Structure 1
Amino acid sequence: MGWMLDLYETYEENSGQIGKVGKNRFGTDYALLPVSHVYQTAQIEVSLDFQGNFISAEVIPKEQGNTIIPCTIDSSTRSSGPVPHPLHDKLMYVAGDFSEYGGKIKKNATSYQDYLVQLKEWCEYDEGNRTIHAIYTYLKEGHLIKDLIAQGVLHEKNGELIPKWTKEHQVEGKEKPEIFKVLTGDQMSAFVRFGIFDLEHQTLKAWEDPQMFRSFVDFYQDKIEESGLCYITGISQPLTDKHASKIRYGGDMAKIISGNDSSGYTFRGRFSSKEQVATVGYDTSQKAHNALKWLITKQAQTIDGRVFLTWGKKTVEILDPMDSFLEQLEIEPVTQKEVTDDTHSVFAKQFRQAIDGYQHYLATEERVSILVLDAATPGRMSIVYYQNFEADLYLERIRHWHESCSWRHAYRRNENKEMTFYYGAPTNRDIAKAAYGSQASDQIIKNTMSRLLPSIVEGRPVPRDIVQLLVNRSSRPQGMEEWEWERTLTTACSMVRKFFQQRNEEEISMALNRESTDRNYLFGRMLAVADVLERSALASQNESRTTNAKRYMTAFSQHPMSAWKIIQENLLPYQARLGTKNVYYEKILGEIAEQFDEKDFNDKALNGKYLIGYYSQRQDIYTKNNKKEEQD
């Protein structure tokens, strides 16, 4: 369980962040939770004084409802059983008058009484904690719901709380009560948190108080009786066989570690109980799972329930192989006007410098962990992928991936609505969408991204089938809009370049290679000349339609010689339309023909290198034409 030790050590390295609330890029709150604490959404906030007198209550806006609450092993994993949290909880636990106002309690259930017994034990353990004493003093009186109704927080009719706000309850001129705006269930399901109103007329938030965190941790760990060897840390400590759920989000019931089956052939004769298999310390489990929840909410990518997480133990925010390197390293894209002959090398230099700077930014002896999680069923979560690297090795592999897959890609339009470009590797998501189409399901996208991950961080070969899918889709431009096909083409070129380089074949450059005698490359060059020639002729008459080169591209990739004859015949009227300008294109076609070995000009299907030849030749012509226009 190296992943668990990594998370435990990450928690220890970042203990200064415990309880500090931040917001991720989507505006969601996150915090590194203390041991024996969980996140819960509260709808009602009650303020008391230190003597346990009720001061006020209010409905909490949805965006402010996230609350750090203490929990026990059983309450943190409760599903249907009535197990109270130690302090903040639902009305059925904290309100002594719950049943008086229509609340339904399971037969023989003692939710409220159990809550008070537990809170009293905490009070007796920490006699100097005025906050919990005040809350206990107030709640044991048993009239919380009555006070909340009097404050206008809860609403009743005929002595019972109104379950749902319907048209029957609407009164002309009155809005829907706030409590019904923040609840998904009825009023009985409301969660209550408590604060203390001090002499300076400020509410001391018990859910944000580090002293409260420490008080409960000390109290609860003192109560755990079973101790033994933790197989993760090698330290003797209190043990647990109940591990956290709610890992990916609040309602997530899937667990990574779970074992509730001890019958039949579970242990296959080797053991007689689960404790003989492995034991995990309570403190270890809590810290590892809390670190995981923190990291996921803070910086992970989630696609269709699959979590892609990259982090460092000390420098938590690390370069993410699943995200855009361009944005992470703050490298600016360029417009077509800014592109020069050395733009590609400028981007490469910027990337290397950014990586070098990143290495200096990282802590000494930093290690990088990558974890991919998913759940096939609602209750069980699997580790799809896990690796741990030295930071220097990790960054070197990122650099190598970026450089070996580098190609020119369209980025997005700037504020002047000019298309911008960058030179580098496409993202995993871009590769997956290019291979399967922009309408591909999230399940296909996440599986493809998972398969590509080892190629980036471990240096493994790019899967051949993904490269072939990219080549096939790029060879079918008719089914895509122009922008989508161009993106698919440049992504395919990136992966084809990587694929052949990893097989120790010749170095493939983005610049046009006029010396190449590879038949695939040469056929691609010919197709590009035909495409640009026809486009030029159409543009001279202000016409815009798909060229014959693109229309026959699929056939050309499978039977290049036969398809080329058809394309050549269809080009004749366009060549005539160009007049003397056609000489330029004829000259290029002649140069390409000279590079062919006679036996290579046949109908054998082309591999992905023909796309490289097509793109490089097309770009070379466009660049020369642009320079000529500027000179004119």
Structure 2
Amino acid sequence: MNFFGDLVKVYEQNEDLAGKVDESGPTLVPIAHNSVNVQIEVRIDGQGNYISARPLDKEETVTIIPATPAAVNRTSKPAAYPLSDKIVYMAGDFAQTMTDEKERDKAIEQHKLYLAELSNWASSANAPVEIKAIQQYISKGTLLADLMSDNFEDKDKKKIAKGDLFARFIVNSKPVFQDQLIFHNWTRFYLESQQDHEESQPIGIDYITGKRGITTKSIEAGISSRDNNAKLISANDDSAYTYRGQFLGDDYYSVSYESSQKMVHALSWLVRRQAIYVDNRAFVFWGTGGTEKPLDVATLLTGFRSAGHFDKKTQDKNSNVEDARAVATQYRDRLRGLVANMSDDETVSIAALDAATTGRMAVVYYNVLDGSSFKQNVMSWGDTASTNRFFKDHVERYTPNFSEIINLAYGNGSNGSRFKKLSKQVMTQLVSAVISGRALPDDIYRAAFRRIKHPLGYSDSPQGTAGTQIWENDMFKHAALIGYRNGGGNEMTTEELNRDRSYVFGKLFAVMNEVEKLSMNIQRQRNSSVTDRQTTAMRFMTNYMERPATTWNRLLSTVNQSYISRLGGGTRARYERAYLDLIHQLGDGMTDEPLEYNFSRGFADQTVELREARAEAKKKREEQKND
């Protein structure tokens, strides 16, 4: 089924929620209704007598109101909503306050339109008693006077006097704006009135359902709160000639009014409830029928927290070092948990929306997968695009989220408009590749690799994170990313990894980096004025990547001369044994051929191994001391 058809299906499968107020999220708007911000609440009795009114707090203003296409899309030409509208439409006495004759005539016309819409509904056979009471009150023409004589503050009265505020009703203690029966009554009345005047309505084939019926060209805007004027279907072929030579006018599409309402309201509901934004581009995931089951997966892919980090509350506080295999098992269990509630025969839809222009919403990406493929691809991403990290006293499995990957590859100048435009394009590439199980564009890998090769280009963050720490974090992110590029690189055997020259050089680099960091830490314990700084390895890194053998000899000489001698005998022996074993492992690979992507994987693995061993040695020393 196509995108629009899927949205109609989502609406129909959740139609019982239409108009049902949900305090935890947005409400699915019923057919022939709209969601607006209302500022005034008017209370009347069942006989249409005014009781009181009050201004609404900001968090109360969002209100579902009955609507017509003309009212929803009105500009300068007057068109009235049938129940809640601006005071200038609702108040019969508003025109009396105006001195400008042209403006007074316009206000009179606006009120006549409003009263006609409301009276037509109130006089229908099955009109709710509350609507009849409201019509009785409005017919008195005293709304503005009642509001101005009520106990409003002067600042609120000034706003009321301008006539631009919307008002809603409570009748006999019943909030009309939350009553599903009243919503359904208006929907039925409006659709039936369209059928009664079918001869004056446009008739055609609904391209979504394939059925013949009343069509519309008035497609609502307001799908995304960040692009509130953008419409899902919009074209002006009278001047711009969007489809010149192919169609006459706007005959390129034909959609029934009901289908247009269902697809727009369903999409708006999904976007406002569960979209993830990158700049103004909205990424939204939903399961069969618009269920929220894939939401955790959306967070895994594009959330702002790394999915691979376990909640520290679940860690065993008495355990210093996690067994690597247990960590990997726990991580895979968590991945499975994210998709466990999704059945194999369920479908998952993914859409990316952006405003192509101020008035047009573009669907820049759309895909539908069966649950089995979706789960498999998500599991593959989480399982391969990951690496171990050592946090304080334990090992964790880590997968960078998409936002982190974008910042890793293109983060320099991330406050500029170019970065914002690029980031949403790359996010779309990441989403489409991962959920489809395809390779990522190599541009992302290259850009990320260029960045980590220049640690001297990193500076401290405004939040106080040291540039050295930011660079190290990026090294681990790149290592995880290369795991996905290798098509399951985290499952490579030790022999396969050890034969990779770039991987082994990355491990050698990590040994020298750790030796100096440990030496600096010892100095800092003796002298608190010693601050963190870039290591010799970091300063040599760019040359190391281009001419590894030559730069290694310089690095080894510098670190041996200045730092390794400061370590204790056992610690020094452990690090010397580590780099000597790795040199032996390289064999004929000790050349100046430039290094490739697996360098970061070697760095990450060796860093975790060294820190884990150091933590284990510290634990043993403490146990011996306690004994």
Q: CA deviation at 1:568?
A: 2.0
Q: Classify the secondary structure of the residue corresponding to 2:498.
A: coil
**Counterpart residue number, 2:282:** 307
Selected match of 1:339 from 322, 332, 342: 322
Per the alignment, do residues 395 and 217 of structure 1 end up closer, same or farther by CA in structure 2, a change over 3 Å counting? same
Distance change >3 Å, CA 387–CA 100, structure 1 → 2: same
Q: Which of 83, 87, 91 is residue 87 of structure 1 equivalent to?
A: 83
- 1:420 deviates by 7.9
Q: Which residue of 2 aligns with 1:169?
A: none
Q: Which moved more, 1:538-547 or 1:607-616?
A: 538-547
The equivalent residue for 2:175 is 205
Structure-2 separation of matches of 1:231 and 1:317? 28
Which residue, out of 455, 460, 483, partners 1:477? Answer: 455
**Alignment-mate amino acid for residue 548 of structure 1:** T
Are the counterparts in 2 of residues 247 and 255 from structure 1 also a CA contact under 8 Å? yes
Aligned to 1:257: 233
TM-score under structure 1 length normalisation: 0.85
Partner residue of 1:490?
A: 476
2:604 aligned residue: 615
Q: Given that residues 322 and 427 in structure 1 are in contact (C-alpha distance below 8 angstroms), is that contact kept between their aligned partners in structure 2? A: no
Given that 2:388 and 2:608 are in contact with CA atoms closer than 8 Å, whether structure 1 keeps it comes out as: no
- Write out per-residue CA displacement over residues 248-267 of structure 1, whole angstroms, 9 at most, x where no aligned residue: 12871011101332358554
Q: In 2, are the aligned partners of 1:95 and 1:145 still within 8 Å (CA)?
A: yes
The aligned counterpart of 1:119 is 118
Q: Which moved more, 1:73-82 or 1:451-460?
A: 73-82
CA distance in 1, matches of 2:189, 2:608: 70
Counterpart secondary structure, 2:563: helix
Q: Quick one: distance in 2 between partners of 1:210 and 1:404?
A: 48
CA RMSD of aligned residues (A): 2.9
Q: Answer whether contact 1:45 1:193 (CA < 8 A) is retained.
A: yes
Contact 1:397 1:458 in 2 (8 A): yes
Partner of 1:397: 377
- Judged with a 3 Å threshold, the aligned counterparts in structure 2 of structure 1 residues 537 and 365 are, in CA distance, closer, same or farther, namely closer
Deviations, residues 501-541 of structure 1 (Å, cap 9, x unaligned): 27xxxx44599769712221121111111112222333333
Q: Does 1:461 align with 2:457?
A: no
Q: Is the 8 A contact 1:92 1:103 kept in 2?
A: no
Unpaired runs of at least 5, structure 2: 460-466, 525-529, 622-627
- Deviation, structure 1 residue 421: 6.5
- TM-superposed CA distance for 1:331, in Å, is 5.6
Aligned to 1:160: none
Which structure's residues are more often helix, by fraction? 2
Q: How does 1:163-562 map to 2 (within 5 A)?
A: 177=155, 187-197=162-172, 203-224=173-194, 225=198, 226=201, 227-249=203-225, 252-262=228-238, 265-275=241-251, 277-314=252-289, 316-320=291-295, 321-324=297-300, 332-333=311-312, 334=315, 337=320, 339-351=322-334, 353-355=336-338, 357-359=340-342, 362=343, 365-408=345-388, 422-437=396-411, 440-441=414-415, 442-478=420-456, 479-480=458-459, 481-501=467-487, 507-509=489-491, 516-542=498-524, 544-562=532-550
Q: Which amino acid aligns with 1:308?
A: F
Aligned residues of 1:13 and 1:313 also touching (Cα < 8 A): no
Distance change (3 Å), C-alpha of 1:267 and 1:486: closer
- Does the Cα contact within 8 Å between 1:306 and 1:372 map onto a contact in 2? yes
Query: What TM-score comes out, normalization by structure 2 length?
Result: 0.86
Hey, what's the Cα distance between the residues in 2 that align with 1:475 and 1:154?
A: 63
Question: In structure 1, how many angstroms separate the alpha carbons of the residues matched to 2:3 and 2:409?
Answer: 31
Residue 592, structure 1, aligned to residue 582, structure 2: yes
1:17 matches 2:33: no
Instruction: Indicate the residue corresponding to 2:6 in structure 1.
Output: 6
2-side partners of 1:456 and 1:408: how far apart?
A: 21
Q: Which residue is equivalent to 1:158?
A: none
Match of 2:619 in 1: 630
Q: Which residue of 2 aligns with 1:161?
A: none
Residue 567 (structure 2) aligns with: 578
Residues 1:58 and 1:515: Cα distance change in structure 2 (over 3 Å): closer
Q: Deviations 1:303-339 (Å, cap 9, x if unpaired)?
A: 3211110001336113244423788899635478352
Are 1:63 and 2:59 matched, yes or no? Answer: yes
**Is the contact between residue 95 and residue 105 of structure 2 (CA under 8 Å) also seen in structure 1?**
no
> How far is 1:346 from its partner?
2.5
Counterpart code for 1:256? L
Give, in whole Å, the separation in 1 of the partners of 2:390 and 2:424: 23
Q: Per-residue displacement from partner, 1:454-479 (whole Å, max 9, x unpaired)? A: 22101111121111222222223331
SS of residue paired to 2:567: helix
Where 1:278 maps in the other structure, the secondary structure is: coil
- CA–CA separation in structure 2 for the residues paired with 1:547 and 1:330: 27
Q: Distance in 2 between matches of 1:338 and 1:568?
A: 29
Fraction of identical pairs, as percent = 28
The Cα offsets for residues 414-449 of structure 1, whole Å up to 9 and x where unpaired, read as xxxx78864142211121122223862443332221
Contact 2:236–2:242 under 8 Å retained in 1: no
The answer to whether the 8 A contact 1:512-1:617 is kept is no
* Distance in structure 1 (CA, Å) of the matches to 2:308 and 2:81: 44
Aligned to 1:166: none
Q: Structure 1: where are the runs of 5+ without partners?
A: 156-176, 198-202, 412-417
